[in-house]
Amino acid sequence: MGFDISDTILAKSDQLNADDLISAPRRIKITKVSKGNAENPVIVNYEGDTGRPFKPCKTVRRILAAAWGVDSSAWEGQEALLYRDPSVVYAGKEWGGIRVKALSNIPKKMIISLAKNKKQKSEHIIDILEPAKLPAWPDDKLSGMATQFESAILSGERTAEQIINNLSAKGVLSDNQKQMIRDIGKGGADLVIDEDESGFFNDGVNE
């Protein structure tokens, strides 16, 4: 049985990188926005960031401000679909960078013209990000995978947040279910083990 290699190709960094999005765009839900430093003035934490927040460049900050306003507290709870744009130039070369494809809570598609360099402007088209329509994870399904969660967490193969992020891509986890997964590594898990199901990273909600 195959497995998801996404975690194995992440850049070794303290932040989300454009290269992390080579395989596919990533949908994030913002949990916190804080002030950074001169180089990275805005730090965006999101669900399942595993300590690797998104540090948007000036172009992306301008887009987010145009969509949600300049008060960063209004960004919390919002969602964004991020992708890697290979044409982004840094130090005179096309290294690629993170750009925004769609945003939640905007009334209509946005078309924003921003400076690309001193002589050129580029047009950014931002689509409406519709609410994710995913089924809820059944408690009994998660209970059956508890031993795999515990093994992955205790062995260091996965963190609780990585498991939550993986599961959230396939279905909706309640706050209680997320907390139970986080508690596994602390010895306080409350999940009842009904059966031993292998390959949980590839399981769908209704499979």
Mean per-residue pLDDT, 14-36 = 91
Domain end position, chosen among 88, 107, 128 = 128
pLDDT at position 133 over 90: no
Work out the angle between the directed axes of helices 175-184 and 160-168 (0-180°, nearest 10).
Answer: 150
Domain end position, chosen among 76, 105, 128 = 128
Mean per-residue pLDDT, 140-147 = 90
* Model pTM above 0.95: no
pLDDT in tens, 77-114: 999 999 999 988 765 677 789 999 999 999 999 999 98
The most confident of 2-6, 106-110, 150-154, by mean pLDDT: 106-110
CA–CA distance, 142 with 200 (Å, rounded to integer)? 9
Domain-embedded: residue 119: yes
Q: Three-state secondary structure along 47-111?
A: CCCCCCCECCCHHHHHHHHHHHCCCHHHHCCCEEEEEEECCCEECCEECCEEEEEEECCCCCCEE
Pair 151, 57 in one domain: no
